Amino acid sequence: MSARLGARALVVHVFVAADGEDSVADLAYLHRMWRACGDVLGMTEPVPGMNADLGPAWAQAPPGLSAARSRPGGMHQVVLRREYDTFCLSAVLEPDTVEGVTWSELDARWSRVERAAGAAPSGVLGSARLFLARLTDPATPVRACPESVQDSVPTDGSGTGVRSGPGALLGGRVAVWESCGPGDDRTVRRLAVIAGPDGDAELSALAWVVAGSVRELPPLAHYLLHAGRLRHQLRVWRAAHPGLWRLRQETDACLRELLRVVPPARHQPSERIPGTSAARLLDDLQARVLALIDRSTRLREMRRTVEIVADNLRVLDPSEEGSSAPPPASGVARPVGPFADDRALAEWFGRQLDDDAIYLEHTLQRCERIGTVLDQLSQRGRQRRQESLNAGLAGVVGAVLMCLAAVQSLEYTVPVPAAVKPAVVTALGAFALSASLAVVRVLLPDRRWSLFVLQASIGMVTASLGWVTIAAVQGSTPPPSTTLSCAGFGFLVGTAVAAALARARHRR
């Protein structure tokens, strides 16, 4: 059985974010598409009472109609509207009936417009091509429109067009089918909108104009705008999901490595102290926690957006209840038709976002709890090391001071030659400096400069000892060149030994 169609037309709605991440590219794409409608389709004539050109500040215009153009012969118009945070470029291609233009020819004409506009940027939420027609036989109900009508909807050229069930009935007089590929994240939607022989008014009010005015977005376009937002969010989520999964895996690997470097509980408390490797892993973990927090908050924002879109789809759904096909033989009910498919996608997508948010929260909780405990252990370890070093330094300094006090109280004269005394004083000062820098190194083990200055102070100690040695051997003040040579040799030896010891400790 076949059905004859009359008054074929194509209505296109392109939805572009007005405040996307790359709004400059988005607005430039809209402007190119506006020009292409004139260059390719000849829509250059002004519409009475409306702007024919986009003004210099069209991107900042308030919600409503921005501009409109037309061309003679049939019904050919293009309008640009703003719906709050979204621009909608709409076009109708309805040649005179005597021309006998098919849907495929109209589809090819609009495809040329899109090619002239260039690649779509990320701010394009989606587009819808509505293939409008009237049945010529009053005896053929639109609810039971034959498959020959459904199959005549042009596909995307890949041959993957699939009808979404028996479609949906709108107001008892208009039926809608969708021909699309299998992907839920499709950017272009192709819908056949069929009315009865006297359904011109219903078709126009549903898909193109409201009460004879192009200033307001028609109901079906309003619905498809929110459906485009939903599928745009799905594309964004799918593009980011592998990175989110990798971030969680890398964070868990970092946590496992942290737990591995901490000595087991059977060790003495003084031995269960994370070392410098744990400190570096803690720094890495904190950086990942920042990324997790960013992803978690963005995921909550996306979940809220999907929830708002789902509510809007329920409110704007133009289909009638009970217009879907019966459930399959397995007894598992599934939605059919383009509008039921949107509702099902919103419900499924919302559950996926909830699952991702829960897993992210659990990962963050692990990071916070494990990181907090390990950070406390690390701080406690640094404090214990500092206390141990301070105690040792206090003992050494106390012993030196006691010796000096005893020498002074007993009026004992140290048998040190006069030529050696400056070198001894320098050696004692260098030793005191290296002792204080050793404390700094213990407190800041992850700062490379603390290691460099400690090695330099050790070199100063060995340099002063070289001065002491040459002065003691000669028994008199050595020439400056000899003193500098011995001191320089001692400095090189001291820094080389200190660097070798640091590398050996790092390998352990």
Question: Of 231, 225, 234, which Cα lies nearest the Cα of 316?
Answer: 225
How much is the pLDDT for 328?
Answer: 42
Q: What is the pTM of this model?
A: 0.74
The pLDDT of residue 9 is above 80: yes
Could you give the CA distance from residue 400 to residue 462 in angstroms, rounded to a whole number?
19
How much is the pLDDT for 325?
Answer: 42
The H or E element that residue 90 is part of is strand 86-94
Choose between 17 and 183: higher pLDDT.
Answer: 17
Question: Of 194, 115, 120, 118, which Cα lies nearest the Cα of 153?
Answer: 194
Could you give the CA distance from residue 339 to residue 444 in angstroms, rounded to a whole number?
63
Which letter, b or e, does each residue of 212-241 get, where b requires 16 or more Cβ atoms within 10 Å of its Cβ?
eebeebbbbbbbbbbbbbbbbbbbebeebe
How much is the pLDDT for 50?
Answer: 87
Cα-to-chain-centroid distance, residue 34: 31
CA distances from 311 to 14, 128, 184, 358 (A): 22, 21, 19, 23
Radius of gyration of the chain (CA): 40
CB count within 10 Å of CB 47 equals 17
The pLDDT of residue 436 is above 60: yes
Any bridge partners for residue 45, and if so which?
70
How much is the pLDDT for 69?
Answer: 94
Least confident residue range of 70-74, 121-125, 206-210, 264-268? 264-268
How much is the pLDDT for 470?
Answer: 78
How much is the pLDDT for 88?
Answer: 96
The pLDDT of residue 401 is above 80: no
Degrees (nearest 5) of the Cα angle 77, 81, 83?
150
When the pLDDT of each residue in the chain is averaged and rounded to a whole number, the result is: 81
Residue that has been written with the tokens 């001291």 in this structure: 494
Averaged pLDDT for residues 399-416:
74
Degrees (nearest 5) of the Cα angle 26, 30, 36?
140
- Residues 466-503: tens digit of each pLDDT: 877 877 777 667 777 777 877 787 778 778 877 777 77
Could you give the CA distance from residue 104 to residue 108 in angstroms, rounded to a whole number?
6
How much is the pLDDT for 146?
Answer: 61
> Residue 496 class from Cβ within 10 Å (0-12 exposed, 13-18 middle, 19+ buried)?
middle
Report whether 279 contacts 446 (CB < 8 A): yes
How much is the pLDDT for 315?
Answer: 92
Query: What is the percent of the chain with per-residue pLDDT over 70, rounded to a whole number?
Result: 81
Q: For residue 232, what are its two tokens?
A: 């745009």
The pLDDT of residue 229 is above 70: yes
By three-state DSSP, how is residue 355 classified?
helix
The pLDDT of residue 164 is above 60: no
By three-state DSSP, how is residue 451 classified?
helix
Most confident range (mean pLDDT) of 10-24, 210-224, 251-265 is 10-24
The pLDDT of residue 322 is above 70: no
Averaged pLDDT for residues 429-437:
77
The pLDDT of residue 266 is above 50: no
- Residues 15-73: tens digit of each pLDDT: 999 988 889 999 999 999 999 999 999 999 998 888 888 888 888 888 888 899 999 88
pLDDT band at 125 (very low <50, low <70, confident <90, very high): very high
Number of Cα atoms under 13 Å in the Cβ half of residue 292: 27
How much is the pLDDT for 48?
Answer: 87
Tell me what percent of the chain is helix, strand and coil, each rounded to the nearest 5: 60, 15, 30
Choose between 175 and 37: higher pLDDT.
Answer: 37
- DSSP for 196-214, please give it: -TT-HHHHHHHHT-BTTBS
Question: Of 91, 115, 103, which Cα lies nearest the Cα of 14?
Answer: 91
